[in-house]
């Protein structure tokens, strides 16, 4: 079977999510489901197919939110996200984003991460990797950090900001009105960002690696 070429995301895809942000209901979803399937999901699947040879197979996350433990009971995510073997792609009304790294770390991964950050060789190597990534236009982000030094590490450590982090990933985002988002040029921009992330990914693989706890896998 010939796979469909990635066409870019149309204005209708962004408009779909603008509408969902305003009316996050089953009625809206049902009446716009065809738009989601043809203008949002189908392009994402085509994009993943284009990236697969270099970055591994991709999986699209379900569009439904897990509201069991959330005060926000909105049933639908206001973005589409997909996980590659070595990266993450997201599209929403605000734009297109790409990430790579460790979005979460299990306790054993955090232990190895902090030991490597504190080390006089691997710690500076991480700083160099971050500088290299940022020089390519990416941002290094963490969605969760300690407010103080982790147990066993001094508050005065020269890399205390990195020691306080509980995850580490690259991030690059482009606004939805960027002209090339509506074209196949998206493939090249996503690929370039993922390649630029490799230096940080290599450090994480070498010094942190997969969790060895039962039932845990590298995110």
> Strand, coil or helix: what is 206?
helix
Q: Is the pTM above the cut of 0.75?
A: yes
Architecture of domain 95-209: 2-Layer Sandwich (3.30)
Domain ranges of the chain: 1-93, 95-209
Q: How far apart are the first and last CA of the chain?
A: 31
Interval 39-58 mean pLDDT:
96
pLDDT in tens, 138-156: 999 999 999 999 999 999 9
For residue 215, what pLDDT is reported? 55
Interval 83-87 mean pLDDT:
92
Distance CA 206, CA 61 (A): 28
Percent with pLDDT over 70 in the chain: 96
Alpha-carbon Rg for the chain, nearest whole angstrom, is 19
> Strand, coil or helix: what is 190?
helix
């Amino acid at each position: 079977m010939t796979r469909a070429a990635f066409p870019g995301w149309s204005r209708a895809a962004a408009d779909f999510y603008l509408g969902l942000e305003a009316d996050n209901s089953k009625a809206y979803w049902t009446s716009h489901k065809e738009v989601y399937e043809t203008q949002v999901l189908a392009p994402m699947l085509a994009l993943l197919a284009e990236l697969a040879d270099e970055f591994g197979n991709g999986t699209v996350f379900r569009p439904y939110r897990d509201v069991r433990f959330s005060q926000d009971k909105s049933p639908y995510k206001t973005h589409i996200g997909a996980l590659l073997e070595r990266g993450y792609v997201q599209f929403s009304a605000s734009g297109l984003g790409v990430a790579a790294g460790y979005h979460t770390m299990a306790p054993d991964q955090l232990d190895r991460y902090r030991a490597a950050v504190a080390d006089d060789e691997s710690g500076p190597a991480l700083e160099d990797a971050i500088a290299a990534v940022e020089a390519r236009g990416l941002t290094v982000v963490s969605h969760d950090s300690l407010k103080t030094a982790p147990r066993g590490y001094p508050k005065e450590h020269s890399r205390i900001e990195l020691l306080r982090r509980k995850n580490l990933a690259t991030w690059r985002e482009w606004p939805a009105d960027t002209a090339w988002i509506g074209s196949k040029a998206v493939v090249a921009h996503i690929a370039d960002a993922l390649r630029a992330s490799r230096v940080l990914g290599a450090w994480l693989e070498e010094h942190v690696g997969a969790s060895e706890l039962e039932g845990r896998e590298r995110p």
